[in-house]
Chains A and B, each alone.
Chain A
Amino acid sequence: MIELTDVVKVYPNGTRALDGVSLHIDDGEFVFLVGPSGSGKSTIIKLLTAELRPTSGSVLVNDFELGTIKKSEVPYMRRTIGVVFQDFRLILNKTVYDNVAFAMRVIGASEADIRKRVPYVLDLVGLGLKSRRLPDELSGGEQQRVAIARALVNNPTMIIADEPTGNLDPARSLEIMMLLEQINALGTTLVVVTHERELVNRFTKRVVAINEGKIISDGMDGYYQYEE
């Protein structure tokens, strides 16, 4: 669950990235967060992943209050969310299997758990037969599927995807979005940041539009209303 209350974020150079944002996302929801470049979308993502702290207001993610969270608690909060980036951020000298297993190893999972869980997640994203490939041997869409598998492998309650289709062609973008929809259907909360209007409008989901650090619309009709 995400609960943002009157969140203000002012960067050290004086830029007011968020100006009193309040937002509630329930468990199991699928939400598109849309808006033009510089609108404040990335700042929200960084607040939700505890890379930044709010200047004022409250950011509550999965029962962790991120404005006051102790540094030592941040890793444990991050284990409850999975993050997917536009540029995939895969480790190029590790195989598909190892990229996904890596996420389990670094939080101290046993090899027995890893051997059970990784093939299951790779099958879920449709890469069961490509586990021994290196990222460079895969298409962009497949690389993003690896990144989604890595985000999923520790069984988070929520996935935050930051422009997950930004580097993909329209057909691959649709496939990735449908995969995310499938994952959401299994009970995982999805927050997808994007500015691809056509893609958003193909799904009937909640759309939160942000501009100049403020929420300008929040609707369930799946329509991206903001005009760039």
Chain B
Amino acid sequence: MGIISMKNKNIGYLVKEGIRGIFLHGFMSFAAICVTVACLIIVGSFSLIMQNLNHMVLELEQQNQVLVYIDESYTEAEAKSVGSEINLIPNVSKAEFVSKEQALSNFVEEQEDPTMFAGLASDTLRHRFVVTLQNSEQMEKTVKDLEAIQGVSKVNAHLEIANGFTTIRNVLQLVSTAIIVVLLVVSLFIIANTVKLSLYDRKDEIAIMKMVGATNGFIRVPFVIQGAIIGVVSAAVAFFIEWGLYDALIVKIAQIDTLQLFTFMPFGDVLGVMVAVYAAAGLFVGIFGSLMSIRKFLDV
């Protein structure tokens, strides 16, 4: 057939062409990187806010403990044995036994004038377990499971507080996800437009490529590389700016007394997640941005 036998050995050539595309419209590529960096910083910020709020809500949830009162007729040893059944419930993270004597002593200590309760007998109270849950969303079901255990006379749980935490977390997740999606779409279009400029500039070249028998895949690769490089460079720049900003912000917050209630996670704790978020976002907007713009140019 007269075709020279050839294989795609030209990865170097394709990468070189991709890089050439970036410098061909240097200013536009620079502008695209700047805007994408801005978008990715906002995406990263919301991701950080989401993780911190999640962390805070989890900490608060841990403090929303369930009190499990044991039947008055149970001796201390019998009451303690109920603990093994409590621990069998999957959502129970920890069950701490508090004897009625200990409960009374704790109660008296908490009063402004402990002498008022000096003569109170410990039999007034019951042995109990202070139970910490793994997931407060399942509190209602766990309470039912606890009530079903033999020897448990009453379970005290703040269901409305648990539901409140769940609602706060869900709303935050929804809002953050919506903002992240919108900003990713904005970045996608910015990169698509930059690649489109290169495509306009090289549309004659593409027509010639098609005419001499280049496959669509071969034509696409340099533009995808161009978009991916813009995306990854933007992601790397945004990541380091975000890191610096976050660390500076934590130091500032630590100096403000009224904000001591909030405990922020150190950046080191979220480093892995943030690297993954930025790498994925950068590659996603870069590759899909290019693919979006190249489609109609291949119809020759």
Give every chain A residue within 8 A of B2 (Cβ-Cβ).
80, 155-157
Contact check: which of B10, B13, B211, B218 meets A49 at CB < 8 Å? B211
Total count of chain B residues near the partner, CB < 8 A: 25
B1 and A107 contact, CB distance less than 8 A = no
Q: A78-B213, A89-B208 are in contact. Are A108 and B10 (CB under 8 A)?
A: yes
Give every chain A residue within 8 A of B207 (Cβ-Cβ).
89
Which one of A30-38, A98-106, A197-205 is at the interface?
A98-106
Total count of chain A residues near the partner, CB < 8 A: 31
Q: How many A-B residue pairs have CB under 8 A?
A: 79
B60 CB to nearest A CB, Å? 58
B9 and A154 contact, CB distance less than 8 A = no
A91 and B1 contact, CB distance less than 8 A = no
A105 and B215 contact, CB distance less than 8 A = no
Q: A89-B208, A106-B218, A107-B212 are in contact. Are A154 and B300 (CB under 8 A)?
A: no
A79 and B208 contact, CB distance less than 8 A = no
Q: A108-B9, A109-B6 are in contact. Are A83 and B1 (CB under 8 A)?
A: no
Give every chain A residue within 8 A of B212 (Cβ-Cβ).
78-79, 82-83, 103, 106-107, 150, 154
A177 CB to nearest B CB, Å? 22
B59 within 8 A of A: no
Q: A49-B211, A78-B213, A105-B10 are in contact. Are A154 and B4 (CB under 8 A)?
A: yes
B8 and A154 contact, CB distance less than 8 A = no
A117 within 8 A of B: yes
Give every chain B residue within 8 A of A110 (Cβ-Cβ).
6-7, 9-10
Give every chain B residue within 8 A of A113 (Cβ-Cβ).
4, 6
B97 CB to nearest A CB, Å? 71
With CB as the reference atom, state the residue of chain A lying closest to B214: A106
B205 within 8 A of A: yes
Give every chain B residue within 8 A of A227 (Cβ-Cβ).
none
- A77-B210 Cα distance, complex, nearest whole Å: 11
B204 within 8 A of A: yes
B214 and A117 contact, CB distance less than 8 A = no
- A77-B216 Cα distance, complex, nearest whole Å: 14
Give every chain A residue within 8 A of B211 (Cβ-Cβ).
49, 78, 83
A76 within 8 A of B: yes
- A123-B244 Cα distance, complex, nearest whole Å: 61
B105 CB to nearest A CB, Å? 81
- A120-B209 Cα distance, complex, nearest whole Å: 21
B3 within 8 A of A: yes
A107 and B214 contact, CB distance less than 8 A = yes
A117 and B4 contact, CB distance less than 8 A = yes
Give every chain B residue within 8 A of A91 (Cβ-Cβ).
204-205, 208
Contact check: which of B1, B8, B208 meets A80 at CB < 8 Å? B1
- A117-B3 Cα distance, complex, nearest whole Å: 13
Give every chain B residue within 8 A of A111 (Cβ-Cβ).
9-10
Contact with A along B191-230 (1 / 0, CB 8 A): 0000000000000110111111111101100000000000
- A107-B204 Cα distance, complex, nearest whole Å: 17
With CB as the reference atom, state the residue of chain B lying closest to A99: B208
Q: A105-B13, A107-B6 are in contact. Are A75 and B300 (CB under 8 A)?
A: no
Instruction: Tell me the chain B residues, 160-185 only, with Cβ under 8 Å from chain A.
Output: none
Contact with A along B70-102 (1 / 0, CB 8 A): 000000000000000000000000000000000
- A226-B266 Cα distance, complex, nearest whole Å: 86
Give every chain A residue within 8 A of B1 (Cβ-Cβ).
62, 80, 157
A51 within 8 A of B: yes
Give every chain B residue within 8 A of A109 (Cβ-Cβ).
4, 6, 10
Interchain Cβ contacts under 8 Å between A and B, 15 examples: A79-B3, A80-B1, A104-B4, A104-B6, A105-B13, A106-B219, A107-B214, A108-B10, A108-B218, A110-B9, A111-B9, A113-B6, A154-B3, A155-B3, A155-B4
User: Measuring CB to CB, which residues of chain B are less than 8 angstroms from any residue of chain A?
Assistant: 1-4, 6-10, 13, 204-205, 207-216, 218-219, 300
